[in-house]
Chains A and B, each alone.
Chain A
Amino acid sequence: MTWEVVIGLEIHAQLTTKTKIFSGSPIAYGAEPNTQANLLDLGMPGQLPVLNKAVIPKAIKFGLAIGAEIGRRSIFDRKNYFYPDLPKGYQTSQFSFPIVDKGGVVEIEVDGDTKKIGVTRAHLEEDAGKSLHDAFPGQTGIDLNRAGTPLLEIVSEPDMRSAKEAVAYAKKVHELVQYLGICDGNMQEGSFRVDSNVSIHKPGTPFGTRAELKNINSFKFIEQAIEIEIDRQIEILESGGKVVQETRLYDADKNETRSMREKEEANDYRYFPCPDLLPVVVTQADIDAIQAEMPELPDAKRARFVAEFELSDYDATLLASSRAMADYFEAVVALTKQPKISANWVMGELSKSLNQHDLTISESPVTAAQLAGLINRIQDNTISGKMAKQVFDAMWSGEGDADTVIAEKGLKQITDVGAIEAMIDQVLADNAKQVEAYRNGQEKMFGFFVGQVMKASKGQANPAQVNQLLKQKLQ
């Protein structure tokens, strides 16, 4: 019998607020150490937490998006432990009564199969600070800028059975929190952190002892780390050993995991309700108001793109992969009424250029209106597809919208039948030998004539018309 892999994820999504969850300190990334820590963040005696109410609707949005029960009376608890970057000696979190309760489900797709992953709960908590072990020789520095940053900890059921499933789930949650506008999803800066609990067992037997893989900042590395952790555990068990419950770090350079600390069985956080904070009461009216403001979620958007715009599943998935991309695409369609050609431009030329310049779609130098203007000029035959690429490049370089570029570069397509016929006549007259060869059966010469006519028109003749008229003339 083969091993079955069991994976559950704990995801910490940093909520997009201006200030910390219990203090007025800002939470901008990358500030000088301890410049974003006030008296409360330093754990001064007598300081009291005051809840930043902005976190509540953000957490509820997530709960509604995954179909979970919303905690109507959630309670902040203290998780007590000592660590130098934990200034109060406890982390304020939610233990018994989380804001997002049971019932949440995230649907993933792996290799064409869909699967529902349960979400046990999601709760609000404050982040800890950072210990800087390398900053001062022989000493540890403490930076409390991050202490008190609001987090939504999203805890899955142990429903995943492979590294691929785990990554698919993590990506789905990553997409969702960004769609909801509650987290910027920046994994490099630690705004979206994935901890994986990995164990193996034989089907039909109890779950095995799990190891927790922490602080892995890319999906690729999460997949690799889980894969090698599975191999490590199989090796241990098959050679008669025991897996130890512990936290392991992934070293991407060596592609190995190594033990960080053993999690004692008796690790006792002595949770109890924080007496400094009131229970968070959420009414049905609050929930209704948040529900009314919910954006369309990725799955619904994909389905609508397929139904409404007759896009392929592939195109719809690509376009709906981020809210910014989807919004851009829909803005273009609104102005062109041409979903397919709009999709092609957004996924083609635009995405290619964005990738080349390492820009996100919200940073695109070509606006949705500009791209729509370009597409409209193709549609009304003002320019050819080939010219369109030239116009696009000019727009990218900031030379104005499509009409301006077309006018300034004299790129207008020649569609006047008389003018094209005159050019064809001249080309045929200048190349009598080739005309004769063609008429004698060398049909591949046709391309030569098209090229000559296009050259004569400086590329501005409508290629379709040139083809059609040439055929008539050469008969």
Chain B
Amino acid sequence: MHTLSVKEMSEKLQKREITSVDLTQHYLNRISQYDPALNAYVTVTPELALEMAKQADALLDAGKGHALTGIPIAHKDIFCSLGVKTTCGSKMLDNFISPYDAKVVEATRELAMPILGKTNMDEFAMGSSSESSYYGATLNPWDHQAVPGGSSGGAAAVIAAGLAPLATGSDTGGSIRQPASFCGITGIKPTYGTVSRYGMIAYASSFDQGGAMTRSAEEAAWLLQVMAGFDERDSTCLEQEVPDYSQQLGQSVKGLRIGVPAEYFESGLDASVEKVVRDALAAYEALGAELIPVSLPNKDLAVPAYYVLAPAEASSNLSRFDGVRYGYRCENPHDLEDLYHRSRSEGFGAEVKRRIMVGAYVLSAGYYDAYYLKAQKLRRMVRDDFTKAFESCDVIMGPVAPTPAFNIGEKSDDPVSMYLADLYTIPVNLAGLPAMSVPAGFAEGRPVGLHLIGPYHSEAALLNIAHQYQQVTDWHCQMPATYE
């Protein structure tokens, strides 16, 4: 059943050829079989999943189901889920049962989409390999020596391994697209403000954006449709109509102007990755699209700007984890200072502490102008680069990451080289633009994604552009042999 597309599952559910309980049980069985080694789930919720599957079947029996009713889903453990442990990959929240649902979880619950569990991630979404999770590293289903990427590495792995048909993710500096690329799945990070951040545990609020992780662009369109939309509980959520994404999947890409930024093909990009990307561009040309050279001259400012601004916001966002009201508290604190000091020292991992310290530093008196304000200026410059580039093209394409998935442990002791793995994705978050990673081939046996970046609010167009590619390629349909 896990080889069916979500569209096929939906049709069979609607026709009552299969039940949601059977489908859900199938995935739960696969999770029991494969996840102990893969470690893609922090929490599996079989009872909740089956109970929701029963509700879904009742709805479907009564002819009241939505197209996604009864289709199981895995939520990244950054989304608060009522009655379910929500850890954000941290020891700090190891004992935290959320008293409420994030908007994204609420939306899938309303459609009776059984929740299979919560997927593993870098601690508080800080990382590009899912190795910084308190619950240990997730493996890449294509190669167990490799990382799945991060921070939504668990989500990418469950889709690639067929341990869930749909998964939610979040992307602050590339956390949906990079693991999607590493695991050979489709991922979309929409325009900042498209998906409500309500209940999504904040890392860097002005960058954080939820999105969909699926096998195909069509499935991403379905899932994003459910996740997107105005939510008055998030003041930064866009107050506008969500277009019908799947309805626009039939457009030809003939005449599409694809911007190819020279800066995305400079040294640092693996030749094997470049080849996959160039081949994908050639496939688009064959479909009638036109390649146009564009320039993103300030690309190299993006990573430094991001590593000032994101830690600054994080240092404040993570202050609430103080051992006072919920979450980890140290043993026998002897006074308030000790309670704070030890709870946070023991509850947070190294990368989180590193970013909190960097953030506190760049916001401190005397450094604020030199770091925080300067970085805000760079952020505007990076954004302006994209605005200018989109004057001459409809979409920008290039690599998602400079390399295929790297090995577990390869970069975990070298934060800067880890940070530079996100040099193509971070500029998009600085600008708040929508972008996707679409499976486009393999390099050294590991998947490689094609990066699609669109102008603001171009999700429908991006999904169609990806879908058209997936009509003539089958990279997105391939599964690692171990998990077939």
Q: Which positions in A face B, CB cutoff 8 Å?
A: 39, 42-51, 78, 80, 82, 84, 87-90, 142, 266, 268, 270-272, 275-278
Q: Is B47 an interface residue (CB 8 A)?
A: no
Q: Is the CB of B360 within 8 A of A278?
A: no
CB neighbours of A266 from chain B (8 A):
365
* Given A43-B325, A45-B320, A270-B363: A278 in contact with B102 (beta carbons within 8 A): no
Q: Is the CB of A48 within 8 A of B80?
A: no
Of all chain B residues, the one with the shortest Cβ separation from A40 is B233
CB neighbours of B235 from chain A (8 A):
48-51, 276-278
Q: Is the CB of A45 within 8 A of B93?
A: yes
Q: Is the CB of B100 within 8 A of A39?
A: yes
Q: Is the CB of B322 within 8 A of A270?
A: no
Q: Is the CB of B205 within 8 A of A39?
A: no
Q: Is B198 an interface residue (CB 8 A)?
A: yes
CB distance from A463 to the nearest CB of B (A): 71
16 A-B residue pairs with Cβ-Cβ distance under 8 Å, sorted by A, are: A45-B201, A46-B79, A47-B199, A48-B235, A84-B322, A87-B320, A89-B316, A89-B319, A90-B316, A268-B365, A270-B360, A270-B364, A271-B368, A272-B316, A275-B206, A276-B235
CB neighbours of A90 from chain B (8 A):
316, 319
Q: Is the CB of A272 within 8 A of B234?
A: no
Q: Is the CB of A88 within 8 A of B319?
A: yes
Q: Is B50 an interface residue (CB 8 A)?
A: no
Of A48, A49, A142, A276, the most chain B CB neighbours within 10 A belong to: A48
CB distance from B271 to the nearest CB of A (A): 39
* Given A87-B320, A270-B363: A39 in contact with B312 (beta carbons within 8 A): no
Q: Is B88 an interface residue (CB 8 A)?
A: yes
* Given A42-B325, A268-B365: A50 in contact with B319 (beta carbons within 8 A): no
CB neighbours of A49 from chain B (8 A):
235
Q: Which of A48, A88, A142 contacts B197 (CB 8 A)?
A: A48
CB neighbours of B319 from chain A (8 A):
80, 82, 88-90
* Given A78-B316, A268-B365: A48 in contact with B233 (beta carbons within 8 A): yes
CB distance from A150 to the nearest CB of B (A): 16
Query: Which B residues, 175 to 205, have Cβ-Cβ distances below 8 Å to chain A?
Result: 197-202, 204-205
Q: Is the CB of B232 within 8 A of A46?
A: no
CB distance from B235 to the nearest CB of A (A): 6
Of all chain B residues, the one with the shortest Cβ separation from A266 is B365
**Docked CA distance A49–B86 (Å):** 20
* Given A45-B80, A276-B236: A89 in contact with B320 (beta carbons within 8 A): yes
**Docked CA distance A19–B100 (Å):** 21
Q: Is the CB of B324 within 8 A of A39?
A: no
Q: Which of B79, B99, B232, B233 contacts A44 (CB 8 A)?
A: B99
CB distance from B33 to the nearest CB of A (A): 32
Q: Is the CB of A46 within 8 A of B202?
A: yes
Query: Which B residues, 205 to 240, have Cβ-Cβ distances below 8 Å to chain A?
Result: 205-206, 232-236
Interface SS majority for chain A: loop
Of B99, B235, B315, B336, the most chain A CB neighbours within 10 A belong to: B235
Q: Is the CB of A44 within 8 A of B364?
A: no
CB neighbours of A275 from chain B (8 A):
204-206, 236, 313
Of A82, A87, A271, the most chain B CB neighbours within 10 A belong to: A82
Q: Is B96 an interface residue (CB 8 A)?
A: yes
CB neighbours of B201 from chain A (8 A):
45-46
Q: Is the CB of A88 within 8 A of B363?
A: no
CB neighbours of A44 from chain B (8 A):
80, 98-100, 326
CB neighbours of A272 from chain B (8 A):
312-313, 316, 363, 368, 372
Known: A48-B198, A278-B236. 11 other contacts (CB 8 A): A39-B99, A44-B326, A45-B88, A46-B198, A84-B336, A87-B320, A89-B316, A268-B364, A275-B236, A276-B205, A276-B235
Of all chain B residues, the one with the shortest Cβ separation from A45 is B201
Of all chain B residues, the one with the shortest Cβ separation from A81 is B319
Of all chain B residues, the one with the shortest Cβ separation from A272 is B363
Q: Is B340 an interface residue (CB 8 A)?
A: yes
**Docked CA distance A361–B203 (Å):** 53
Of A45, A87, A142, the most chain B CB neighbours within 10 A belong to: A45
1/0 per residue B74-107: CB within 8 Å of A?
0000011000001010000100101110100000
CB distance from A176 to the nearest CB of B (A): 31
CB distance from A126 to the nearest CB of B (A): 14
Q: Is the CB of A46 within 8 A of B233?
A: no
CB neighbours of B363 from chain A (8 A):
80, 270-272
CB distance from A202 to the nearest CB of B (A): 30
Q: Which of A47, A51, A80, A142 contacts B324 (CB 8 A)?
A: A142
Q: Which of A43, A142, A277 contacts B320 (CB 8 A)?
A: A43
- Nearest 3 A-B pairs (CB), nearest first? A89-B319, A270-B363, A275-B205
Of all chain A residues, the one with the shortest Cβ separation from B88 is A45
Query: Which B residues, 327 to 362, have Cβ-Cβ distances below 8 Å to chain A?
Result: 336, 340, 360
Q: Is the CB of B316 within 8 A of A45?
A: no
Query: Which B residues, 283 to 328, have Cβ-Cβ distances below 8 Å to chain A?
Result: 312-313, 315-316, 318-322, 324-326
Of all chain A residues, the one with the shortest Cβ separation from B366 is A268
CB neighbours of A277 from chain B (8 A):
235
CB distance from A128 to the nearest CB of B (A): 13
**Docked CA distance A253–B197 (Å):** 51
**Docked CA distance A243–B309 (Å):** 39
Of B102, B206, B316, B318, the most chain A CB neighbours within 10 A belong to: B316
**Docked CA distance A266–B364 (Å):** 10
CB neighbours of A50 from chain B (8 A):
232-235
* Given A46-B199, A48-B235: A270 in contact with B316 (beta carbons within 8 A): yes
**Docked CA distance A90–B312 (Å):** 13
**Docked CA distance A87–B324 (Å):** 8
Q: Is the CB of A88 within 8 A of B320?
A: yes
CB neighbours of B318 from chain A (8 A):
89
CB neighbours of B368 from chain A (8 A):
270-272
